[in-house]
Structure 1
């Protein structure tokens, strides 16, 4: 059974963006040490353009072969002229408003996203599924998430887009698997869900 991993960047107070979803304040932490770690350990989480910039265009995935993102997260790539921002992965966009895909590598899902994710998890294969964002999709898939990889940036927003938007109150326990701290203050924590 494949796993669904919410691999996400957030502020210390748990926001993945400002109230409008903008997370550009986190870009200043993309220094050589941190980007080098991501390129070596999670190369598939860098966009096609990011992979080109760091010289790992052909690097194989280590953790994921599929990415799921919400319509608003996907729009960031479209606005930057990238209709297939993670073209090295199978790309799935959850949207109730987008009727047709702007790129052949991007599959649009408008129905029962949780059921679709369960079908993806049941597929055979050594690599998992990356939940890229956004908040509403993460809230909708909260019960399906098997692993959290939280990249905490050393600043606070006070308010903004939460990690899990629109989710009902429910306690879910996770176990810390490992932690990695960087000189720029970023800390990556990996948790597995207690089932």
Structure 2
């Protein structure tokens, strides 16, 4: 069974973006050390423009072969003129507003998202599924998330878009690893407690 991993960046107080969803204030923390961590362990999580500028076009996926993202996260790529931001992966976009996929590599899901995620998890394969964002999507899929990889940036937002846009639901995870970086970033890895 493949895992669904929520690999996400957030502030110290658990927000993945400001109230409008903008997370660009976290970008200055992508230091050389941190970028080395991403490119060696998670190269597939770098979007197409970043892969090109870093010379990673042919980088082999280390962890994931499928990415799931919400409409708002996907819109950021569309606004920049990119219809397949993770064309090196199978892309799934959850959207109730997009009626037709703007790219043959992008599968749109408008109904029964949980069932589709369960199908993806049941597939044979060595690589897992990356839940890219956003908040509402993560909230809908909380019961399906097997692993959290949280890149925590040394910022406090005070308010904004929470990691999980859902109602109150206590869900327990076990800490597996913590990695610290000189720039103050922490990467914590958790597994769902069964």
Question: What TM-score comes out, normalization by structure 1 length?
Answer: 0.98
The CA RMSD measured in Å over matched residues stands at 0.6
Residue number in structure 2 paired with 1:147: 147
How far does the alpha carbon of each residue in 1:108-149 deviate from its partner, in whole angstroms, 9 at most, with x for none? 000010110001000000000000000000000000000000
Q: Does 1:189 align with 2:180?
A: no
Give the structure 2 partner of residue 176 of structure 1: 175
Matches of 1:170 and 1:16, distance apart in 2: 19
Would you identify which runs of 4 or more consecutive aligned residues in structure 1 move more than 3 Å? none
Q: CA deviation at 1:56?
A: 1.4
1:94 aligned residue: 94
Larger CA deviation: 50-59 vs 119-128: 50-59
* 1:120 maps onto 2:92 in alignment: no
- Determine the structure 2 residue equivalent to 1:55: 55
Which residue pairs with 1:19 in the alignment? 19
Offset at 1:100? 0.3
Match of 2:135 in 1: 135
Cα distance in 2 between the residues matched to 1:55 and 1:174: 36
Match of 1:105 in 2: 105
Q: For 1:36 and 1:99, how far apart are their aligned partners in 2?
A: 38
Distance 1:32 1:86 in 2: 22
* Count of residue pairs brought into register by the alignment: 194
Structure 2 distance, partners of 1:19, 1:128, is 30
* Structure 1 counterpart of 2:36: 36
Displacement of 1:168:
2.3
The residue number in structure 1 matching 2:82 is 82
Structure-2 separation of matches of 1:156 and 1:168? 22
In the TM superposition, residue 81 of structure 1 has moved relative to its aligned partner by 1.3
